[in-house]
Amino acid sequence: MTRFTASLGLLLLLATAGCAASPGLDLDAEALLDPESCRGCHPVQFEQWSGSMHAYTGIDPLFLAQLRLGQEDTNGELGDHCISCHSPVAVRAGATVDGSNLPDVPAYLRGVTCAACHQIDSVSRDHNASHVMATDDNLRGGILDPVQNTAHGSVYSFAHDRNSRISSDTCGTCHCVFNKNGVHVERTLHEWRDTVFATGDLTVQTCGQCHMRGVDGVAAVSDGAGRTAEQMPIRRIHDHSWPGVDTAALDFPQRDRQVELIQDELDTTLLARLCVTPIAGGVELVVRLENIRGGHSFPSGSAIDRRVWLELIASADGQEVFSTGVVGDDEAVATTGDPNLWLMRDRHFDADGEPVDFNWLTESVQSDLLPAATTNDPTDPDFYHFVERSWPLYGVSPDRVQMRVRMRAVGLEVLDQLVERAGLDPVVPAEQPTWNLGSTQLTWEGQLGSCVPY
């Protein structure tokens, strides 16, 4: 450990040789990498970031367990593939080669840190973290006329300004993953590019416009030279919490707040409709789901891990007559054998067509996700992008049908495998929430042939 720290110090020294802080600026090249150096002047961004998954990934036991298993399965061939997205600054500083020593890497280099985003100069490729990093001591952001400060230089950048379309590439090159076999295993950026949020004239929404909401406030509480918060210009400042669907299993800042933010997002993501229609010899339950607020498919990201499913229960005179997707809190949904299950996720297969649970083994993907809107033209057949499924029931006539869409970030059977094979702390499956999507909780008690909510 001592030897490691010493050699790390040397590496940093070499990497930063000749670029001590510019005259008049307090932060040298090493201090610019440390989120703690930003905290005093940017307390809001710091606090939000510190509870985000961008920070958590630096200590995430789930990431570490997957990485261990992946390196083992591929005899180390993964190399820096995973860690170059999950802790890019640690790789650049020479503190890790393949992530295997991540727990020993100094905390300030781990995770997707302030510097990992604010030193980005441009993007060279639209996948696998292909950022061109700046080598000067300016930090880039979306403020056109930044107040100069004593800590760092400030520069406006299209790559950061959420009102510029290319800011999506800045997020997207990390949020688009080709695995080592050349298979597109995470596709969020490419999904977005086909939607009205990328192509529409009046409906453009970048990643940042949806995921970093703006409020009025001060961007910094000091300039280091005597100017206080009251003397700073009021600007649009942007949320750095990035709620998605993953949560911290360990004690971590802002945990409860993240859970609240995620629930709020998920509660309004889908539009749902439930109809009960008479058919010869029985009834048909018809469920329609439409992804109305996702700027990409839903779910997205590591969709191999995601489990999004429909729970549907029909009863007559208080007796259950049909159900699908009913699972206990500690029960895996993908392995129940339920023949009626509507499960939204990606399925991955190896070269022999056998299903696999980890994306370093993937040779092909079969995707069953809810697409986002691709046109604003109601005369275009693609305008209706909802997905509908139906279940015929014969010989029964339910008087009450209930539904809800539920979601887990990672399948429990995948987490259980990691506990067994890669030493994952069992607290991770135990702490993982099962989300219920508010807007999809519907109860039908009407006339045959009617729908809820309309």
Give, as ranges, the residues between 268 and 287 that touch ligand HEC (CB under 6 A): 269
Which two tokens mark 364? 């092909």
Residue nearest to ligand HEC (CB): 301
Residue 418 in the binding site for ligand HEC (CB under 6 A): no
Residue 454 CA, distance from chain mean position: 32
Residue type, 306: R
Rounded CA gap, 60 and 354, in Å?
Answer: 29
Q: Which of 66, 254, 324, 440 binds ligand HEC (CB under 6 A)?
A: 66
Does the N-terminal peptide bond of residue 453 adopt cis geometry, omega within 30 degrees of 0? yes
Q: Is 263 exposed, middle or buried (0-12, 13-18, 19+ CB in 10 A)?
A: middle
Site membership for ligand HEC, residue 254 (CB under 6 A):
no
- Binding to ligand HEC (CB under 6 A) within 350-389 occurs at 360
Closest separation in Å from C-beta 321 to ligand HEC: 33
Min dist CB 102 to ligand HEC, Å, is: 11
Which tokens hold the place of 240?
């750095």
- For residue 326, the tally of other CB atoms under 10 A from its CB is 14
State the CB neighbour count (10 A cutoff) for residue 234: 9
CB of 406 to ligand HEC, least distance (A): 13
Give the Å distances, CA to CA, from 224 to 37, 211, 239.
Answer: 12, 30, 23
Residue 24 is encoded by which pair of tokens? 């008049």
37 counts as binding ligand HEC under rule CB under 6 A = yes
CA–CA separation, 210 vs 413, rounded Å? 32
290 in contact with ligand HEC (CB under 6 A): no
Q: Is 232 or 452 the residue whose CB approaches ligand HEC more closely?
A: 232
Alpha-carbon distance of 390 to 315, in angstroms, equals 16
Give the nearest distance from C-beta 123 to ligand HEC in angstroms: 9
Distance CA 328, CA 372 (A): 30
CB of 59 to ligand HEC, least distance (A): 10
Dihedral sign for Cα atoms in the order 370, 86, 15, 155: positive
What residues numbered 297-326 form the site for ligand HEC, per CB under 6 A? 298-302, 305-306
Q: Which stretch binds ligand HEC (CB under 6 A): 148-156, 275-283, 323-331, 341-349?
A: 148-156
> Is residue 8 close enough to count as binding ligand HEC by CB under 6 A?
no
61 binds ligand HEC (CB under 6 A): no
CB of 73: closest distance to ligand HEC in angstroms? 9
CB of 418 to ligand HEC, least distance (A): 9
Residue of 86, 82, 83, 90 lying closest to 12 (CA atoms): 90
Residue 344 as a binder of ligand HEC (CB under 6 A): the answer is no
Q: What is the dihedral of CA 426, 431, 436, 438, to 10 degrees?
A: -160
Shorter beta-carbon distance to ligand HEC: residue 99 or 398: 99
Cis preceding-peptide flag for 299 (omega within 30 of 0): yes
How far apart (Å, rounded) are the C-alpha atoms in residues 43 and 31? 17
User: Per CB under 6 A, which region of 9-17, 102-110, 288-296, 386-394 contacts ligand HEC?
Assistant: 288-296
Q: How many whole angstroms separate alpha carbon 168 and alpha carbon 87?
A: 20
Give, as ranges, the residues between 211 and 250 that touch ligand HEC (CB under 6 A).
Answer: 211-212, 219-220, 222-224, 232-233, 235, 237-238, 240, 242-246
- Are 128 and 85 in contact, with CB atoms under 8 Å apart? yes
Which one among 12, 29, 67, 428 touches ligand HEC, defined by CB under 6 A? 67
User: Residue 110 or residue 175: which is nearer to ligand HEC going by CB?
Assistant: 175
Q: Restricting to residues 177-216, name those near ligand HEC by CB under 6 A.
A: 177, 188-189, 192, 197, 205, 207-208, 210-212
Among 81, 110, 187, 406, binds ligand HEC (CB under 6 A): 81
Residues numbered 91 to 120 that lie near ligand HEC (CB under 6 A) are 112, 114, 116-118
Tell me which of 25, 61, 96, 149 binds ligand HEC, using CB under 6 A: 149
Told to check if 393 binds ligand HEC by CB under 6 A, we report: no
Give me 109's structure tokens.
């280099």
Q: Does 406 bind ligand HEC (CB under 6 A)?
A: no
Least spacing, CB of residue 392 vs ligand HEC, in Å: 31
Q: Which is nearer to ligand HEC, 39 or 400 (CB)?
A: 39
Q: Is 53 in the site for ligand HEC (CB under 6 A)?
A: yes
Task: Considering only the C-alpha atoms of the chain, give the largest distance between any 2 of them, rounded to a whole number of Å.
Answer: 84
Q: Is residue 211 a contact partner of residue 168, using CB atoms and an 8 Å limit?
A: no
- Residue 153 near ligand HEC by CB under 6 A: no
